[in-house]
Chains A and B, each alone.
Chain A
Amino acid sequence: MPLEPVVPLLPEVLGGPTHHHLPLLLDLSFREGYVRSIIYVSLYVSLTAVALSTLFSVPVAILVGFSEFPGKQFVKSVVNTGMGFPSVVVGLLVLFAVSNQGPLGSLDLVFTREAMIMSQFVLATPPITAITLAAVSGVDDGVRDAARALGGTRLDVALVVLKEARYGIATAILAGFGRAVSEVGSVLIVGGNITGADGISKTRTLTTAIQLEARQGQYETAMVLGAVLVALVLTVNAVVVHFGDEGVAG
């Protein structure tokens, strides 16, 4: 029951009254705005990145899965290599891209959420593409043939495959979200772990906050943030599994 220690803490963290019999939260009472803003930034950046990555990865996986072309094996191995690509290096590359010398320098994106979204997009895309590709390739050829033989257009066939592969695709999105939200290196580099003068997070995420709080010896805060992160991942997991069960109209 990993949720148990988390759930009673959440209302406190998210703005409930401070209970003094919970000493763990004592020093959080004046920081709830801080904690909330961190959760918001984490969710905003990761969900946006994963949503964009899904819109990109799923069609790509379907195209690659459906067609035969000479470089197909190469594309697959690039995607698989991308899954293990060190996130710090991704951060470094994105930071360079948005820096003054970089191709996107004119957009002024250094230490912004947009830059964080970019690096998380790069991180989430390989797992989402690879797992979706595996799920799509696993769909029985017979089902595809049947959809076509029954008069389906290419789009109809793709929709059938999407539906048959929905659990695998849900898993892919989850894996992408898991990688994005729990990753420290690249968001630290491109985001800078910044809070405003009012102590509200600008580019500080749960992970970068945890490493900062832990380094400063604020173990309670770090623990609570860690628990929030775990709860978040578990909740998203549950939601995705639930939708997978419901099925999609197709």
Chain B
Amino acid sequence: MLRATAVSQSFGGERVLDDLSIEVDAGEVLGVIGPSGVGKTTLLRTLALSLEPDEGSVTLEGTDVWAAGEADRLALRRRVGMVFQEASLFDGSVGHNVEYGIRVRKPWSDRIAAAVGLAGPPDAVHESLDVVGMTDKVNQHADSLSGGEAQRVSFARALAYDPDVLLLDEPTSDLDPRNTAVIEEAIDEARNRGIGVVVATHDMHQAERVADRVAVLLDDGVTEVGPTDVIFDDPTDERTRKFISGELVY
């Protein structure tokens, strides 16, 4: 469904992604593992259609995103959701945050009506807060949440507008086991809804738990992509095997 083909990306002459191809389908979870600084976030931002690759193409259901006009690209971009490493919640209530993606998709007349209190929050706000177990905090101010709660709200915020693809950048890197479990269950729920999920993580065990397929990103690109059990139990690439087994230390 969402496919990057032969993409390259450099920053200041330094090539971070080199001729990389990857694809995620509806209703699957793709894990992206690799050492810190290898370009996982860069890859996700490319897939989120917020970073135009120097070379190569990104297509969503066959439509070349960067060949499309600005209005079409916005429409394509709006089918993809991304949850960042940092929660970065807006100044406002939990409900306000979760509703954001729904709100910006509405015509201005509806947005103004909602702003002056003529329309209540849509059901999707409640439903996606339910997925992360935060319905009771809907009116709480985002500033007063714990780090784990903020990360859960950030997840719900991207789930609320029902994207086709959801990109998660280290969604549990700062979280305790309980919050991590909540997020991993939410990833399952997203898959059940038919969303294609990409999870970048340096926690290999997490990739093993949540992913259907895993892509291993080592310094000059994807060394191997395949079903999770194959990657972890029987990798074909020697460097993948060393990375998985911890022999290759970065």
The residues of A with any CB-CB pair to B shorter than 8 Å are: 140, 142-143, 145-153, 156, 160, 163-164, 247, 249-250
Contact = CB atoms under 8 A, between A and B. Distances in A.
Contacts of A151: 74, 77-78, 101, 104-105, 161
A149 B100 contact: no
A149 B90 contact: no
Interface stretch (B80-88, B180-188, B193-201, B241-249): B80-88
A247 B89 CA distance: 16
Contacts of A160: 90
Given A142-B88, A152-B104, A247-B92, 4 more contacts: A142-B84, A146-B90, A164-B91, A250-B115
A243 B157 CA distance: 27
B30 interface: no
Interface in B154-174: 154, 157-158, 161
Contacts of A146: 84, 88-90, 154, 157
Contact of B104 (A153, A247, A249): A153
Interface of B: 48, 50, 74, 77-78, 81-82, 84, 86, 88-92, 100-101, 104-105, 115-116, 154, 157-158, 161
A25 B159 CA distance: 67
B115 A164 contact: no
A250 B105 CA distance: 13
Nearest to B83: A149
Contacts of B89: 143, 146
B88 A143 contact: yes
B110 to A, nearest CB: 13
A249 B88 CA distance: 19
B84 A149 contact: yes
A154 to B, nearest CB: 10
A92 B91 CA distance: 44
B86 to A, nearest CB: 5
Given A149-B81, A150-B161, A153-B74, A249 B105 contact: no
23 contacts: A142-B84, A143-B89, A145-B50, A146-B84, A146-B88, A146-B157, A147-B104, A149-B48, A149-B50, A149-B81, A149-B158, A150-B101, A150-B161, A151-B74, A151-B101, A151-B105, A152-B104, A153-B74, A156-B104, A247-B91, A247-B92, A249-B115, A249-B116
Given A160-B90, A163-B91, A164-B90, A149 B82 contact: yes
A152 B99 CA distance: 12
A162 to B, nearest CB: 11
A143 to B, nearest CB: 5
